[in-house]
Amino acid sequence: MNISAIIASLALAVFCFAANASTPDNVAVYATEKYQGSISIGDKTAYTKTFEVSIAKLSANTVVLSKLCLKAYSPDKKEFELDTVDEVLITGSLKEGKPVKGIAVFTSENDAVFKAALVKISDDCK
């Protein structure tokens, strides 16, 4: 991966953590777009965007992944629903120096999900 992309991702993550009170500030989320796709069943359709996600603990505070959720956002701040996720990203606790890595798939009824560029972790999992 390009070093400048990593630096830009870290800078964005720090900025976004400061902007949202429900975002844990002791967790870093690194996300790389993997695939765009679609699902059709009869007359129903859905569009998907898949990210490879790594979650790392930044401080000594306990991080219980089952109390958190992943959300994807487009540059215009539209939020997209998590559809499918690797179990390792939503269970157990993060250990310092031991990031977890897996796939997260977000869906939408229209192709707006293709614009999703940022994956955040939140404790607001309604």
Query: Which domains does the chain possess?
Result: 3-122 (2.60.40.4110)
Quick one: pLDDT at residue 86?
97
Quick one: pLDDT at residue 24?
80
Quick one: pLDDT at residue 5?
42
Quick one: pLDDT at residue 22?
54
CB 122 within 8 A of CB 29: no
Quick one: pLDDT at residue 62?
83
Residue count (the chain): 126
Quick one: pLDDT at residue 67?
92
Residue by residue, pLDDT tens for the chain (126 residues) are 444 444 344 444 444 444 443 578 889 999 999 999 999 999 999 999 999 999 999 887 888 999 999 999 999 999 998 999 999 999 999 988 899 999 999 999 999 999 999 999 999 887
Which pTM was predicted?
0.78
76 φ/ψ angles, rounded to the nearest 5 degrees:
-90, 15
Quick one: pLDDT at residue 75?
97
